[in-house]
Amino acid sequence: MNAVTNPVTNPVTNNEEGAVSAELTEVLPAVADDTSAPAVPVVRPPTTASLEAERVSAWFGQRKVLDRVSLDMPAGQVTALIGPSGCGKSTFLRILNRMHELVPGAALAGEVRLDGQDIYDPQRRFTDARKAIGMVFQKPNPFPAMSIYDNVLAGLKLTGEKKPKDERDALVEESLNRAGLWLEVRDRLKQAGGALSGGQQQRLCIARSLAVRPRVLLMDEPCSALDPTSTRVVEDTIQNIASDVTIVIVTHNMQQAHRVSDQCAFFLAAHGTPGVIVEHGPTDAIFENPQDQRTSDYVNGRFG
């Protein structure tokens, strides 16, 4: 993709959670609550895909926030984006599934390729990118008055998929299982998603994302609003699903990055300059043998 000047075609909101909620609300499917029919197995196609960013730069108005960032995010692995606040990690994450263009005045340059195909190709619809590259936000955002069952299926309307009752039942069970939530909620699928605990709500949002079978799942600080016990459960969920969906996670928790990721990219923005990647590579190497002193200082808590 080339540099874009104010590419916004539907500026819903500057808040990414609101953008997704507004979009889903507009296309919310009518889903039956009756879950009495026996579920049938759902065969999952291979879902992992590589994601590659090449020389990505980003602006908000005249302010440049990312400068020529290139990063390979291998299929079936967890890539952690680390770095202090304000260095462009969340902006980079939003660029990976075309959410950056929702922000008024936003512009970008470079390429983002999903298995070699540019997601910003003019021939590709932005909804195709959202289907293939899902998003879980910092604050859990289930539809609070909607049932757990309907929350899981809410994203299907974006894809235009219509499934018979038995397939919907099976998909809900499968998605909740993959998110590590099924055993906790299987007897109360008709209850409101907003009645769940914070950690359960976040896993419900993960299940909702998984239901549309993304090939990549982006996570923007998914545990920052959770207690330590819920954080560990979500981390276990990340590790369990990483075998069949590529994960890119932004986190300020260095221990978490070390626990859950296969590779790390360290972002940094010096005073008044746009964010860049200082160093990236296998997680163990970044934490145990960093090649840049700034990386060593950050992962060892000497700044940030």
The DSSP-derived string for 18-82 is HHHHHHHHHT---------SPP---PPPP----EEEEEEEEEETTEEEEEEEEEEE-TT-EEEEE
Decide if 87 contacts 267 (C-beta within 8 A).
Answer: yes
User: To which residue do tokens 């990055």 refer?
Assistant: 257
Decide if 111 contacts 120 (C-beta within 8 A).
Answer: yes
pLDDT of residue 60: 94
Report helix, strand and coil shares of the chain as percent, to nearest 5.
35, 20, 45
CA pair distance 111, 99, nearest whole angstrom: 14
Domains and CATH numbers, the chain: 47-299 (3.40.50.300)
pLDDT of residue 95: 96
Instruction: Please count the CA atoms within 13 angstroms of the CA of 5 that sit on its side-chain side.
Output: 0
Decide if 80 contacts 138 (C-beta within 8 A).
Answer: no
pLDDT of residue 16: 35
pLDDT of residue 77: 95
pLDDT along the chain (304 residues), means of 10: 40 36 34 37 61 96 95 96 95 94 91 94 84 91 92 81 89 95 96 94 95 94 93 94 94 96 96 94 97 95 82
pLDDT of residue 294: 96
Question: What angle is formed at CA 239 by the lines to CA 39 and CA 97, rounded to 5 degrees?
Answer: 85
CA pair distance 89, 280, nearest whole angstrom: 13
Predicted structure pTM score: 0.83
pLDDT of residue 233: 92
Tokens, residue 33: 């609550």
pLDDT of residue 158: 66
pLDDT of residue 271: 84
Decide if 252 contacts 221 (C-beta within 8 A).
Answer: yes
